[in-house]
């Protein structure tokens, strides 16, 4: 309510009612970030906005977001291709300059909206629930609340609630595998943007994002979701289960890098001092002077073992003496 009133006031003052959805989401993101950071400071007396909201700055930040967006895009393509094959999509295109401007505005709104939802359900509250009741129970509780809130949307069904619950599990898993919201945010945004802006389909019964393409859907509800959109289709349940497997495999490196505790060396130190007696012996040996070394002549003084050589030497020595 506060976000709506603030956004309404700003848009009215600027005389730009078209900015109302964007301003509403921007104010909501700001309040969530600052509010959760304040709660974290009250508990821990530590002011760290990024850690409190599970949006850490790290080297793989951009890569994680883009991979999440690619997975979200792939999920929507998997949901739309069967509808295309069965011929249940009937698009109408609006390519006027104003439509392109509205599409860009919707894109910015969806970026902030998906971030707000991730901050609210997979950020500070999720971290505190994990610390209190463990990751599995925290995932079930927040995914249930996430699905329960979807019942306030028009045209919801029991199937759409089940899809929303499983989607909450998917986004929670993205956090548990990376300890950050980057992949979940990328997935959430790409799923909504591809569905509402590129395909012109309802986003959880909301058709206000379809400015370039407006698509009417016919055919079985289990594949199209009817007026609620793909988030109310039975096929989406299978797509989300497959996406869980892809997400788990895609985040193996991040899970090893960011979720495992660092290995700390334990046990006894390997450098052990020698016994005192051994040290005393070494010191005594060092204190004694070294032995003298006698350098012998290079000419051997040993007699030759060859008789002919000895006779020659005797004769030569005798001649020298006679002279």
* pLDDT digit string, tens, across residues 231-288: 999 999 999 999 999 999 999 999 999 988 766 666 655 667 778 877 777 777 777 6
Would 322 be classed as within a structural domain? Answer: no
95-134 per-position pLDDT tens digit: 888 888 889 999 999 999 999 999 999 999 999 999 999 9
Same domain? 79 vs 209: yes
- The pTM of this model reads 0.79
Same domain? 83 vs 196: yes
Tell whether the model's pLDDT for residue 299 goes beyond 60: no
Tell whether the model's pLDDT for residue 17 goes beyond 90: no
Same domain? 125 vs 177: yes
Same domain? 132 vs 247: yes
pLDDT band per the 50, 70, 90 thresholds, residue 187: very high
Where a domain ends, among 207, 229, 258? 258
Tell whether the model's pLDDT for residue 45 goes beyond 90: no
Same domain? 13 vs 93: no
Tell whether the model's pLDDT for residue 305 goes beyond 60: no
Same domain? 37 vs 134: no
Same domain? 29 vs 66: no
The pLDDT assigned to 239 comes to: 95
Where a domain ends, among 243, 258, 273? 258
Q: Mean pLDDT over all residues of the chain?
A: 86
The pLDDT assigned to 292 comes to: 63
Give the residue with greater pLDDT, 292 vs 319: 292
Write the CA distances from 264 to 142, 252, 261, integer angstroms. Answer: 34, 22, 9
Would 187 be classed as within a structural domain? Answer: yes
Q: What percent of the chain has pLDDT over 90?
A: 54
The pLDDT assigned to 313 comes to: 61
Same domain? 123 vs 207: yes
Tell whether the model's pLDDT for residue 24 goes beyond 60: yes
Same domain? 44 vs 146: no
Would 306 be classed as within a structural domain? Answer: no
User: What total of structural domains would you count in the chain?
Assistant: 2
Where a domain ends, among 228, 258, 288? 258
129-160 per-position pLDDT tens digit: 999 999 999 999 999 999 999 999 998 999 99
Determine the structural domain holding residue 41 and report its residue range: 1-53
Same domain? 41 vs 12: yes
Same domain? 129 vs 230: yes
58-98 per-position pLDDT tens digit: 999 999 999 999 999 999 999 999 988 888 888 888 888 88
Same domain? 39 vs 99: no
The pLDDT assigned to 1 comes to: 66
Would 220 be classed as within a structural domain? Answer: yes
Would 314 be classed as within a structural domain? Answer: no
């Amino acid at each position: 309510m506060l976000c709506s009133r603030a956004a309404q006031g700003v848009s009215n003052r600027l005389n730009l009612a078209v900015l109302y959805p964007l301003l509403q989401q921007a104010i909501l993101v700001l309040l969530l970030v600052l509010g959760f950071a304040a709660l974290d400071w009250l508990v821990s007396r530590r002011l760290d906005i990024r850690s409190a909201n599970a949006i850490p700055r790290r080297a793989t930040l951009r890569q994680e977001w883009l991979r999440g967006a690619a997975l979200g895009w792939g999920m929507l393509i998997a949901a739309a291709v069967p509808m295309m094959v069965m011929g249940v999509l009937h698009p109408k295109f609006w390519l006027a300059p104003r439509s392109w401007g509205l599409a860009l505005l919707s894109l910015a709104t969806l970026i902030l909206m998906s971030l707000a939802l991730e901050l609210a359900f997979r950020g500070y509250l999720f971290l505190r629930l994990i610390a209190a009741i463990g990751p599995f129970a925290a995932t079930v509780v927040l995914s249930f609340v996430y699905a329960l809130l979807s019942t306030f949307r028009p045209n919801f069904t029991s199937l759409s609630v089940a899809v929303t619950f499983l989607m909450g599990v998917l986004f929670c898993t993205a956090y548990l595998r990376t300890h950050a919201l980057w992949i979940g945010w990328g997935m959430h945004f790409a799923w909504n943007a591809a569905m509402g802006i590129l395909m012109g389909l309802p986003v959880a019964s909301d058709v206000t994002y379809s400015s370039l393409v407006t698509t009417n859907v016919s055919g079985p509800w289990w594949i199209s979701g009817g007026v609620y959109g793909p988030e109310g289709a039975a096929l989406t349940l299978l797509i989300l289960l497959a996406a869980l497997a892809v997400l788990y495999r895609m985040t193996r490196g991040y899970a090893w890098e960011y979720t495992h505790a660092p290995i700390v060396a334990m046990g006894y130190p390997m450098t052990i001092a020698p016994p005192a007696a051994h040290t005393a012996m070494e010191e005594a040996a060092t204190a004694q002077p070294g032995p003298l070394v006698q350098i012998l002549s290079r000419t051997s003084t040993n007699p030759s073992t060859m008789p002919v050589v000895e006779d020659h030497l005797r004769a030569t020595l005798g001649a020298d003496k006679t002279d």
